[in-house]
Structure 1
Amino acid sequence: MVETLNIIKNDPWLEPYSDAIVGRHQHAIAKEQELAGKKTLSDFASGYLYFGLHKEDKGWVFREWAPNATAIYLIGDFNNWQEDPKFKMKRIRKSGNWEICLPEKAMKHGDLYKLKVYWEGGCGERIPAWATRVVQDDQTKIFSAQVWNPDKPYKFKKKVFVPNVGPLMIYECHVGMSQDAEKVGTYNEFRENVLPRVAADGYNCIQIMAIQEHPYYGSFGYHVSSFFAPSSRFGTPDELKQLIDTAHQMGIAVIMDIVHSHAVKNEVEGLGNFAGDPSQYFYPGDRREHPAWDSLCFDYGKNEVLHFLLSNCKYWLDEFHFDGFRFDGVTSMLYYSHGLGEAFCNYNDYFNGHQDDNAICYLTLANRLIHQVNPRAITIAEEVSGMPGLAAPFNDGGYGFDYRMAMNIPDYWIKIIKERKDEDWKPSSLFWEVTNRRKDEKTISYCESHDQALVGDKTIIFRLIDADMYWHFKKGDENFTVQRGIALHKMIRLLTASTINGGYLNFMGNEFGHPEWIDFPREGNGWSYKYARRQWNLVDNHELCYHYLGDFDKEMIHLLEGVKNIQKTDVVEIWHNDGDQVLAYRRKDLVFVFNFSPTRSFTDYGFLVPKGAYDVVLNTDNPAFGGFGFSDDSIRHFTCADPLYAKDKKEWLKLYIPARSAVVLKRVKA
């Protein structure tokens, strides 16, 4: 059996752990068989079609899983929030499921409702676990489920969408903070104002955060209460569908930041103590609470929990036409320690019995299901430990993610910006860091995501420039610090984006060096929205320097997308010299040259490349991007023959490369 798993063939260092790898693989196969039987996993994961509130031909039907409950009432606007016997649910035989059937006139679109759940020794109001619409009262701040049955539900215009994944260029975004105004943005505003920017900039995918309903806005959407309800802060479910449909019509894929790694503790809004059983959805005992996130950890060993989470995956694909998911907090799921305080220095750290095989099985099944529902779906794992096989195909012995986040890269950029002088930036180390990855797993490379923009951290532009952004970011008034920051911001992005083996990610606004941090409304800042927004006016104002960075990012993305499947081409190092701080590599017909030296420019610096003519197609030093324009980019460069390398069909390409700049050249027919 070991020979059949390519993950071990591809990496002989995994051979000593073959029993564990095969065991996990067999566990997933056995669990899928147990859950689905003779049907498919997709058939099994259709709980959202059964549970929750549904309008049928004869009226309404509502079902809930609450095995510890002794009685459940449906309460709401339709019965003055009273325990009416007509709205008392019945347990379905001896199962843990409850059901009630009501006439059509019993409730209407827009009605608010909850459950009044009784259990031995207590009772409480609860929002249904499978609720697909949850709203918050503006005055009382109380959340309730809402009947959602509009007369004219949204119908998708784009029935079938095929994502462009060659390469995947992701624009990570948050609908609520996507507007200039100091308020919560809406699905409609995002569709009208931000999507056109994303399309113009060349990104072919948006990754939307904070979709699942969450009680506390400041959690950035990571403390989820209602897993099947799109956040009503931003608008209606139909408006979210229209946003996704519009993105598809623009050729933009839409993936969702899905949170299955933990859940909010709230009991009334969430699943924390749904029917008097704190462990209905979550691990019992010491494993119930996440020690760092003040949240609850799902019990992935329960079939009912697997049914809930797998159905959640299918629901968003089926009902909203999402193109896939970025799974949050995967490291936390994989290990009993949640990865806290662990160094992950060698392979034994991944196979030492400290891993949650139930969670590993769930993630594997989730990928199996998602690609069964939509073979073109995109799945990405946010995982920092480096677990082998995470983004390897299931049939090879992997867990089936399409991509994993290259979380080492932003950490590295932060480290060298903070700790090393410019003169100590070594191109060999930079190149190693952006290309160091498993050959059989695709990654999403990025310089910074939302994580680096939050209060308590700093974006790259702020690490480079800091307070001078407030005083010297007007064109003509740039000081040395600003000039350095603009130059390095472009170089860092170009090096990261041009060496991808899967895709590239940018967080909304960071492409143009959005100033300041992200700070959501909270008591400590007077519930202000000042820093929970994106100031598009800055990049639109051509009297300021922000547009330099935005324009460069746009040209960079279009250039890389213009090379068919550039992510699948070899990154061939041509040259590095740590003393000169010069790096050069090529991908197909593109040659990338970096001079990280802060003070030294070089004339006639030579590289051996395939012979031919080369045109400059992108230059960080171009005045259009805030550079000095020291090079004449209109000149076509011809290689010079060298008899020593004639048999290799290589010749010398000699360039003038100014200090702290990078240039991309394309081989052309002379």
Structure 2
Amino acid sequence: MTLSPDLLDAVAAGSHHDPHAVLGLHHEGDHWVVRARRPLARSVTAVFRDGSRAPMEHVRAGIWEGSHAGEPSAYTVTATYDDGSSHTADEAYRFAPTIGELDLHLIGEGRHEELWQALGAHVRELDGTRGTAFTVWAPHARAVRVVGDFNSWDGQSHAMRSMGRSGVWELFAPGVTEGSTYKFEILTTSGAWIMKADPMARAAEVPPGTASVVTESAYRWSDDAWLTHRTKQTPLSAPMSIYELHLGSWRAGLGYRDAADPLIEYVTAQGFTHVEFLPLSEHPFGGSWGYQVSGYYAPTSRFGSPDDLRYLIDRLHQAGIGVVMDWVPGHFPKDSFALGRFDGQALYEHPDPRRGEHRDWGTYIFDYGRNEVRNFLVANALYWFDQFHVDGLRVDAVASMLYLDYSREAGEWEPNIHGGRENLEAIQFLQEVNATSYKRFPGIAMIAEESTSFPGVTAPTDHAGLGFGFKWNMGWMNDSLEYIKRDPMYRSHHEGELSFSFVYAFSENYILPISHDEVVHGKGSLIGRMPGDHWQKLANVRAYLAYMWGHPGKKLLFMGQEFGQMAEWSEQRSLDWWMLEQPAHAQLHAFVATMNATYREHAPLWARDSDGAAFTRLGAPEWNPNVIAFARRDWHGNTVVVVCNFAGNPINRLTLALPEPGAWHEILNSDAESFGGSGVGNLGMVHADADGIAHLTVPPLGVLWLHHRSPAHIPSPTRG
């Protein structure tokens, strides 16, 4: 067969969409023709597995051709050069496609739930040869090449073949193994070559490097007991006290493996049930805290390898600690090496800037209506559950995804097909990712950071809800922080800021967050918001946290607030651990540990968090605007009453109608001397008369937790 000069030139330059149609082994008439690209060679020979040889002649532009009369089999190509050297290598273009028709069909339909198995870079052994299968989706590309340290970043020898209308490109590269760095070099429709990191890379260079890295996992998990237990329980009816942390500044310098022992020891001692990591997906700019992701499938290499992260999560599970990770499907950065304009045109982002850009953040917005993009994100959520065993994903900035006019002025956004402001494609994506995640991984938690009154965020998708397991209660957070910063002298006039949340506390499944966002950008720290002298600030923090832990909803606290760090958080340095050397801050630290332990031990504080029938507001017969009191019940009739006094003076005799007569044990007093308080309390016990009336002493800037055990759970006295 005669090949045109233009075709040969394009193949030689690595700019043809199907180099395998020219290179490799091809049946022509009664023999086989073998072609290889070996520029600058003096002679080239194909050596087949049966020992036969096919000398090759130069055709054009470094492409050589020979004839083989025997049966087709594996072969290598030996090239000699003018300096007398020779080089023998396997031939990339002799291999069949490494991606199948079913994979391509599912990708096109947007239904490939294990997309990471089909696309990206995978070390494989094919026909006795070990190498890496590279696959990438780039439908607008005219040609795609793999460049890396294995070809001196010259991709002409590793041009990929187009898999047709799917937009997928594929190449098996013999000899490329784990640890190799690579990118894709893409020829755009405008004729420019651009170099991009692999969107499906499972590892990346340490920033500021931007290349993708071929990786294999050799990790063997040991958390079967944890995963089995997880499938049998529902997070909604279990205690959840989350310690949110930024791994790079919790204790600076620790990697994934180094952090395991100190983090487990610390979280266990403090009594938190879960840790939540700020995003650990690869990101180019550390100052974004991980919220501008460039590698959705690659754990950031700042702290080690993907298997190192697996080790950390495995160890946390073995210690009985759940793992939540922040996930950012709402936007991505415009860095030229990453997803933006991936194949020269808008691909992952929506092409209309009214829907495809966040001007405030300088980022792109995903095109949620495109099958392949939606699939990329849904599969990414499943990837973290499947490959890293995380127990939950906290989805960042959900409000920005739900509304087309989010942070936009009139004329800067386009209504949906019904004329409304809702992003219907984003809503469908969120419903799909939640439903699919819960279907495949029972017992996990999908958590929405959603700050509006959008209805049904945690309602099931078959009831037109978004299908999240939990929603951050941003209204509670804003109102309660506004209240607690006020001088106690004036708090009585603003009681509604603290109690309004009771009106809607059961409309969604809530998490109460005091997150990283509340201790940055000039907001200071939690203790820094408190009024008064240092003693009063610490008392206010203890009271606020005790109120928060008693309030319906799961809990989240950002690192450093558990010991009253005074300075605003910075990702550039470690927490101020030296503050624990100060007795007052060590006492606050001890209080949080005790509070967490008490919370976990008493089911009324968590078993029915979203059940309004298990909650009662208290106050009669003496309503006091400085006192917030309420009762929580579990399924067995056990009750905890929370009594909060946010005034600066003690209440020596508060008459309060408790839900049950009898003895009420004081299980927590935020004003205890051991916590740095003044020691005002009830000597461990409060008695309610037959009508439930009790007279309490309530400490200043203090909170009491009172526990009443159901008679059915009180053991009978022993008879001698």
TM normalised by structure 2 equals: 0.76
In structure 1, the partner of 2:556 is 505
Q: Matched residues in 1 for 2:469 and 2:165: separation? A: 41
Alignment map for 1:18-29 (pairs within 5 Å):
none
Q: Matched residues in 2 for 1:484 and 1:80: separation? A: 64
Query: Is 1:79 matched with 2:151?
Result: yes
In structure 2, the partner of 1:373 is 440
Q: Matched residues in 1 for 2:562 and 2:275: separation? A: 14
In structure 1, the partner of 2:687 is 638
2:159 to 88, 107, 112: 88
Q: Matched residues in 1 for 2:405 and 2:623: separation? A: 39
The CA deviation at 1:428 is 4.6
Q: Matched residues in 1 for 2:640 and 2:202: separation? A: 49
The CA deviation at 1:244 is 0.7
1:54 to 95, 111, 122: 122
In structure 1, the partner of 2:463 is 396
Check conservation: 1:169, 1:504, Cα contact below 8 A. Answer: yes
Query: Is 1:294 matched with 2:362?
Result: yes
| Post-superposition CA distance 1:18-37 (Å, at most 9, x none) | xxxxxxxxxxxxxxxxx999
Check conservation: 1:228, 1:312, Cα contact below 8 A. Answer: yes
Query: Is 1:276 matched with 2:367?
Result: no
In structure 2, the partner of 1:45 is 113
Query: Is 1:552 matched with 2:602?
Result: no
Q: Matched residues in 2 for 1:583 and 1:352: separation? A: 44
Letter in 1 for 2:686: H
Q: Aligned in 2, Cα 1:582/1:305: closer, same or farther, shift over 3 Å?
A: same
1:331 to 388, 399, 404: 399
Q: Matched residues in 1 for 2:659 and 2:493: separation? A: 22
Q: Matched residues in 1 for 2:540 and 2:419: separation? A: 42
The CA deviation at 1:395 is 2.2
In structure 2, the partner of 1:476 is none
Check conservation: 1:408, 1:433, Cα contact below 8 A. Answer: no
1:572 to 616, 627, 641: 616
Letter in 1 for 2:404: Y
Q: Aligned in 2, Cα 1:341/1:385: closer, same or farther, shift over 3 Å?
A: farther
Query: Is 1:423 matched with 2:490?
Result: yes
Q: Aligned in 2, Cα 1:186/1:455: closer, same or farther, shift over 3 Å?
A: farther
1:237 to 306, 319, 331: 306
Q: Matched residues in 1 for 2:286 and 2:162: separation? A: 36
| Post-superposition CA distance 1:108-140 (Å, at most 9, x none) | 222211111111231111101111101136xxx
Letter in 1 for 2:525: T
| Post-superposition CA distance 1:9-64 (Å, at most 9, x none) | xxxxxxxxxxxxxxxxxxxxxxxxxx99999x996222111000012231321100
Query: Is 1:653 matched with 2:697?
Result: no
**RMSD, aligned CA:** 2.6
Query: Is 1:536 matched with 2:577?
Result: yes
Higher RCO, Cα 8 Å, sep 6+: 1
Q: Matched residues in 1 for 2:628 and 2:164: separation? A: 71
The CA deviation at 1:660 is 2.0
Q: Matched residues in 1 for 2:615 and 2:604: separation? A: 13
The CA deviation at 1:490 is 1.1
Check conservation: 2:110, 2:374, Cα contact below 8 A. Answer: no
Letter in 2 for 1:495: Y
2:499 to 432, 447, 462: 432
Alignment map for 1:436-451 (pairs within 5 Å):
436-437=503-504, 439-446=506-513, 448-451=514-517
Check conservation: 2:479, 2:498, Cα contact below 8 A. Answer: no
Paired residue secondary structure (1:491): helix
The CA deviation at 1:299 is 0.6
Q: Matched residues in 1 for 2:384 and 2:266: separation? A: 25
Q: Aligned in 2, Cα 1:547/1:337: closer, same or farther, shift over 3 Å?
A: same
Q: Matched residues in 2 for 1:271 and 1:441: separation? A: 35
Check conservation: 1:426, 1:578, Cα contact below 8 A. Answer: no
Q: Aligned in 2, Cα 1:52/1:637: closer, same or farther, shift over 3 Å?
A: same
2:263 to 194, 197, 219: 194
Q: Which moved more, 1:204-213 or 1:596-605?
A: 596-605
Alignment map for 1:517-528 (pairs within 5 Å):
517-520=568-571
The CA deviation at 1:200 is 2.0
The CA deviation at 1:340 is 5.9
Query: Is 1:561 matched with 2:570?
Result: no
Q: Matched residues in 1 for 2:106 and 2:195: separation? A: 39
Query: Is 1:598 matched with 2:643?
Result: no
Letter in 1 for 2:223: K
Q: Matched residues in 1 for 2:383 and 2:172: separation? A: 23
Query: Is 1:454 matched with 2:520?
Result: yes
Q: Aligned in 2, Cα 1:372/1:339: closer, same or farther, shift over 3 Å?
A: farther
Q: Structure 2: where are the runs of 5+ without partners?
A: 1-102, 411-415, 634-638
| Post-superposition CA distance 1:290-342 (Å, at most 9, x none) | 02111100010101101111111111111111112110010000001225689
How many residue pairs align between the two structures? 579
Query: Is 1:484 matched with 2:525?
Result: no
Check conservation: 1:283, 1:297, Cα contact below 8 A. Answer: no
Q: Aligned in 2, Cα 1:597/1:124: closer, same or farther, shift over 3 Å?
A: same
In structure 1, the partner of 2:204 is 134
Q: Which moved more, 1:616-625 or 1:583-592?
A: 583-592
In structure 2, the partner of 1:526 is none
In structure 2, the partner of 1:149 is 216
Q: Aligned in 2, Cα 1:156/1:395: closer, same or farther, shift over 3 Å?
A: same
Paired residue secondary structure (1:84): helix
Check conservation: 2:640, 2:705, Cα contact below 8 A. Answer: yes
Check conservation: 2:219, 2:307, Cα contact below 8 A. Answer: yes
The ranges of structure 1 where at least 4 consecutive aligned residues each deviate by more than 6 angstroms after the TM superposition are: 35-39
Paired residue secondary structure (2:165): coil
Check conservation: 1:42, 1:373, Cα contact below 8 A. Answer: no
In structure 1, the partner of 2:77 is none
Q: Matched residues in 2 for 1:622 and 1:55: separation? A: 60
Check conservation: 1:223, 1:263, Cα contact below 8 A. Answer: yes
Q: Matched residues in 2 for 1:486 and 1:438: separation? A: 27
Query: Is 1:586 matched with 2:631?
Result: yes
Check conservation: 2:147, 2:182, Cα contact below 8 A. Answer: yes
1:463 to 502, 515, 529: 529
Structure label with greater radius of gyration: 2
Q: Structure 1: where are the runs of 5+ without partners?
A: 1-34, 343-348, 466-479, 521-528, 642-649
Considering fraction of residues, name the structure with more helix.
1
Paired residue secondary structure (1:54): strand
Paired residue secondary structure (1:545): helix
